[in-house]
Amino acid sequence: LPEIALAGRSNVGKSSFINKLINRKNLARTSSKPGKTQTLNFYKINEAFYFVDVPGYGYAKVSKKEREKWGGMMEEYFTTRETLKAAILVTDLRHEPTKDDLQMYDFLKYHELPVIIIATKLDKIPKNKRAQHVKRTKQTFEVAPDDIVIPFSAETGEGKDESWSVITHYLKN
C-alpha cells in the first residue's frame, strides 16, 4: 500500500487530524509515549494507504544518543521508500511556524517529497484574522509552488474535503 508521512510537533493536533478525516473519536493517538522517538507508527486508512507517523520531532530535549538513533531511522525510511508518496506537515495556524517546523519542511523537501501543510486549529482564530494567519504560514515556510497550505479544524471539519482531495491526488501518482 502507498504511504503518506505525517509529521508535526507533539500536541499540534496530528491525532485529531487523522481522527477527523476518518470520522473516528480516538483511533489514532500519536502522542501517548513522550520520549519514544525510535519508532514509526503506521495507521492503515480505509484499506487504501498508510499514514506513517513520524515521531519525536521537536526533540530538542532528548539526549544526543536518542537524536542520532532518530536521525538514522529517519534517513533509512525516507531514502529507501518507494511507496512513500507525499508528506503531511501539521502546524498550528495560531502561531508562526517554529524552527522545528521549518527544519522538518526542509528535511521533507530535501527528500523530494510533495508536502501538504495542514494548518490546524483554525476554529481558534477569529474569522477576520484567518486569511492573515494563512498568509504568514505560507510566507514563513516559503512554500514551494507545488505545495499547499490547507487551513483545517478538527473541531468543525473545515479543510477536511480539501485534505481528502489532495491526499487522493498524491495516492494516484
Under the rule (CB under 6 A), what is the footprint of ligand GDP?
Answer: 8, 10-16, 30-31, 120-121, 123-124, 153-155
Q: Cβ closer to ligand GDP: 12 or 84?
A: 12
Q: Cβ 16 to ligand GDP, closest distance in Å?
A: 3
Q: Cβ 82 to ligand GDP, closest distance in Å?
A: 27
Q: Cβ 102 to ligand GDP, closest distance in Å?
A: 18
Q: Cβ closer to ligand GDP: 23 or 80?
A: 23
Neighbours of 152 (CB within 10 A): 28
Give the residue from 100, 8, 116 showing the smallest Cα distance to 54: 8
Distance CA 74, CA 71 (A): 5
Would you state the cell numbers that stand for residue 58, as one nine-digit string? 521537536
Q: Cβ closer to ligand GDP: 69 or 160?
A: 160
Q: Cβ 154 to ligand GDP, closest distance in Å?
A: 4
Distance CA 20, CA 52 (A): 16
Neighbours of 134 (CB within 10 A): 18
